Homo-oligomer: A and B are copies of this chain.
Amino acid sequence: MNRSKKDRILDAAEQLFSERGFDGVSMRNVADTAEVGLGLVTYHFTTKDVLFEDVVTRRAEVLNSERRKLLSELDNPSLEELLEAFFEPYRRFIASGSKGWRAYARLHAILTQDSRWTDLAARSFGAVALEMVERIMMAEPAISRGEAVRGYVHVIGIMVSVFAETGLIDRFSDGAISSRDVATSISPMVRFGAAGIRALAISETAASAPLVTLNS
């Protein structure tokens, strides 16, 4: 059977939103790409905002459940094991070649960077984020809650820039590294993030003197 027209609309919207952002896409645009009438889009989703939300939450639920599953299997994990379990489902979905998941990863970058969607982002990813912060604190007992949050947020900043495959790294490495080769990006990202978080923990006990003099 064909996938339903509702799914076709979600797929088209996902693709277009990921390429041109919320405001760069019109409802007509979505309808045309999905090859359905405009009325059907508003029948299913009422407004453009609802459509965007539904696009985001659809795969967020899949991602969250996979992440929870992997995290629940970890017993007293190191930071590296923790981050690997966090990245692994996303990596698997993207590396499967799914056009939808690759579009979703770009959308994810838009979501975390735009304050208009902070609420939606918190609803979609907040629960697993809090679980990650707790787990970071267990893996690295010397860290404070504040620094664990900071470490997690930095990891997210790296993750979305890597999974969004913007081509920045291709450019600066003269093609030696491809941003589309997500699989080989995971291991460096895990090591970078784990070492970074550890550096945040250490700093609080030892090097708590500010490196930067504040003169403003």
Residue ranges of A at the interface with B (Cβ–Cβ < 8 Å) = 20-24, 80, 84, 88, 91-92, 95-97, 106, 109-110, 112-116, 118, 121-122, 126, 129-130, 133, 145-147, 149-154, 156-158, 160-162, 164, 166-169, 171-173, 176-177, 183-200, 202-203, 207, 210-212, 214, 216
Interface pair A177/B149, CB less than 8 Å apart: yes
> Which B residues touch A190, using CB under 8 A?
211-212
In the bound complex, CA of A112 to CA of B195 (Å): 24
Which residues of chain B have C-beta atoms less than 8 A from A160's C-beta?
113, 157, 161
A193: chain B residues within 8 A (beta carbon): 196
Most B CB within 10 A of own CB, among A84, A110, A113, A122: A113
Contact assessment for A183 and B150 in the assembled complex, using a CB-CB cutoff below 8 Å: no
How many whole Å from A161's CB to the nearest CB in chain B? Answer: 3
- B113 and A188: CB pair below 8 A? no
- A126-B147 Cα distance, complex, nearest whole Å: 31
Closest to A122 in B: B171
Given A211-B80, A216-B96, A216-B183, answer yes or no on A197-B192 (Cβ-Cβ < 8 Å).
yes
User: Does the CB pair B150–A169 fall under 8 Å?
Assistant: yes
Residues on B with beta carbons closer than 8 Å to the beta carbon of A150: 169, 173, 177, 185, 188
Q: How far is the CA of A195 from the CA of B112 in the complex (A)?
A: 24
Chain B residue with the shortest CB-CB distance to A211: B187
